[in-house]
Structure 1
Amino acid sequence: MTKLNENQIINIFQKKLGNKKFVSEDVEKFTLGKTNIVAKTDTMVQSTDIPNKMELSDAARKSVIACVSDFACKGVKPEYGIISINLPKSIPKNEINNIVKGFKNACKEYNISIIGGDTNEGKEIVFNVCIFGNSKKIVTRKGSNKGDLIFTTGPFGYTSVGLKILLGNNKKMNNLIKKSIKSVTYPKPKLNYGLKNKKYFTSSMDSSDGLSTTLNEMAKQSKKKFVINKIPINRDLENYFKKQKNDLNSAVFHGGEEYEFVFTIPSKFKKIIIKNAKLLKTPIFEIGYVAVGNGVYLENQNGETKLKDLGWRHFK
């Protein structure tokens, strides 16, 4: 029996169900009458997506946040949601209340109204969230031009540390470890920054599957070369990796679970997007530039090294 990977499975569905050439995007956009609708759905499965040490309230919140993050990078305000849940019949009432609390917190935080959903019984907890908004235009993954600057919202690498701690037996606690765990359990997409600055972006994409995946997909769709000459990492985490003698690049570029986004801009807008970042208290990192060619490359004093897409994939 041939084992299929995630991309092969997706391709089968696209060929059987699609009626046009499919272009991968963070959200779906369609018109219903005269209304322009933007939609996103995401699934969280207990055995693969929720570490045992993660509270169900945080997991429920995160299932909504996963969709909000995609809206943030597209510059679209999420407005309505539908939630479907699969629960084991033995689940106690207090855990149900925790799940509801998580959904409520996320919706209150981003002003989303839940209008319905579905409940089912199964062997493990599964959350499926679908969010809707209204916009005539989105910032696509393609569109970057030669000379554009590449930015990320937020630093990368904390989630790699946080996940290892949540999945392991490490009981040591300090500020860095607390920050790393929180980056996994309580991510905060930069929605307001995406809404305020979308008109300056030439391309943008959510980074939750890993920074290397995001950069490679954007470069591929734009048919350009992305050159990365700065690593988006904070000093405390950089020092931690050096002390532990761990691979910094692997954590930053391939870790995943960062609900940040990558965007490109013409250089003439650099001052204004930095100004807006300060106004909104949103950390942004300039990490490189767009050039003629293809692929993603790390640039340093020794030259260029190709950055492979080694982000998260289901069915590995």
Structure 2
Amino acid sequence: MKGLDESDIIKIIQNGIGNKNFVSEDVEQFNIGKRNIIVKVDTLVQSTDIPPKMTLAEAARKSIVACISDFAAKGVKPQFGIISLNLPKTISHSKIVEISRGIKRASDEFQIKILGGDTNEGQEIVFHVCVFGESDRIVPRKGAKSGDIVFATGLFGLTGVGLKSLIYKKKGRKEFVQKCQKAVLKPKPRLEFGLKGRKYFSAAMDSSDGLSTTLNEMAKQSKQKFVIDKIPTPKSVYEFAEQNKIDSMDLIFNTGEEYEFVFTAPKKYRDHIHKLASKLKTPVVQIGYVTKGKGVYLKGDKLVQIKDSGWRHFKK
């Protein structure tokens, strides 16, 4: 019998609560009077989300980064946070201090006020983070139009290399591998670029579940075809993949954990986007274009479909 994956579970729950027309988005939004409240919930679990060499301070920060990255893609400023902690009964004083240090570092870095939360006892460490903001609108996943350009912040494949080296001890050029491990342990969401660039974006989505997932979800919701003609990755990723006999396309498109975001924009804004990226020192790569049709394709000698093979919880 086929096991349930994450999408199956979400559908069952949405149907169960009567929300059959649910459309996935990076954040949720609701109104209180005339105020449009934006909220994001994310969970970081020790056994599945904390790789070797990651300190608890880094893990605590990353649990908040996961929400901040979604706010960045939506062009919304995060303002408040609530954190629930699941902790083993035997956890030490020093580890609690380290967790608090990571939370403080993130709250200062992204200028959010932690209002409080909850603590509970369990078998392993779990961070459950909820971040709130307020905005008149979000940049949706579904806004891409035929003729738009597809951009990505940052480079992809680095976290794939970092995770392979941290978890499976795969080897590569020392300086490059250290850079990739840093991308995993200390991710940098592109919040300022998202806030200042949102006026140019027609659609956007966080890429933390993998580039293939992000591109396919945006294309599906926009009812358009995405053609990728430039893979946003350095040569060193291909060299690492070849050395370790790993599929480079899997590292680049399916690993996730980047906390970058993909966005589309009309051609008339291209120069404005590159100028803003240069000013903010944010790496932005033009990776393709939007056209009529459906699906996501990599353009080479011929078009090859890029299927959604990104990260899925419960995937067999």
Q: So what's the TM-score if we normalise by structure 1? A: 0.96
Determine the structure 2 residue equivalent to 1:154: 154
Counterparts of 1:41-60 in structure 2, within 5 Å, are 41-60=41-60
**Residue 236 of structure 1, CA deviation:** 3.3
Deviations 1:239-281 (Å, cap 9, x if unpaired)?
4334545322111101110100000000110000000000000
Q: Match of 1:32, as an amino acid? A: I
* 3-state SS of 1:255 partner: coil
Q: Take 1:234 and 1:137, find their aligned partners in 2: how far apart are those partners?
A: 35
d(CA) in 1 for partners of 2:245 and 2:268? 39
What amino acid maps onto 1:310 in structure 2? Answer: S
Match in the other structure for 1:208 = 208
Amino acid at match of 1:308: K
Residue pair 1:203, 1:218 contacting (<8 A) in 2 also: yes
1:115-165 superposed Cα distances (whole Å, 9 cap, x missing partner):
010000011100000000000100000011111000000000010111112
What is the DSSP-based 3-state SS (H/G/I as helix, E as strand, rest coil) of the residue aligned with 1:139? coil
Compute the displacement of 1:3 (Å).
2.1
In structure 2, what is the equivalent of residue 192 of structure 1?
Answer: 192
After TM superposition, the structure 1 stretch with the greater mean CA deviation from structure 2, 71-80 or 245-254, is: 245-254
Q: Distance in 2 between the 1:206 and 1:122 partners?
A: 30
1:6–1:315 Cα contact (<8 Å) kept: yes
Shift of 1:51: 1.6
Cα distance in 2 between the residues matched to 1:105 and 1:99: 10
Map of 1:244-263 to 2, 5 A cutoff?
A: 244-263=244-263
Runs in 1 of length 4+ with deviation above 6 angstroms? none
Can you give the 5+ residue segments of structure 2 that lack an aligned partner in the other structure? none
Distance in 1 of aligned mates of 2:175 and 2:87: 35
Q: Which residue in 1 is equivalent to 2:302?
A: 303
Tell me the residue number matched to 1:312: 311
Shifted more, 132-141 versus 163-172: the winner is 163-172
Report the alpha carbon displacement of residue 106 of structure 1 after superposing the two structures with TM.
0.8
User: Match of 1:292?
Assistant: 292
**For structure 1, which runs of at least 5 residues remain unmatched after alignment?**
none
User: What's the counterpart of residue 272 of structure 1?
Assistant: 272
Instruction: Give 1:19 deviation, angstroms.
Output: 4.2
C-alpha separation in 2, matches of 1:19 and 1:149 = 33
Task: Give the CA RMSD over aligned residues.
Answer: 1.5
Relative to structure 1, the CA distance from residue 172 to residue 140 in structure 2 (aligned partners, 3 Å threshold; closer, same or farther) is: closer
| Partners of 1:244 and 1:173 in 2: CA distance | 12
Q: TM-score, normalised by structure 2?
A: 0.96
Contact 1:53 1:167 in 2 (8 A): no
Aligned residues of 2:42 and 2:128 also touching (Cα < 8 A):
yes
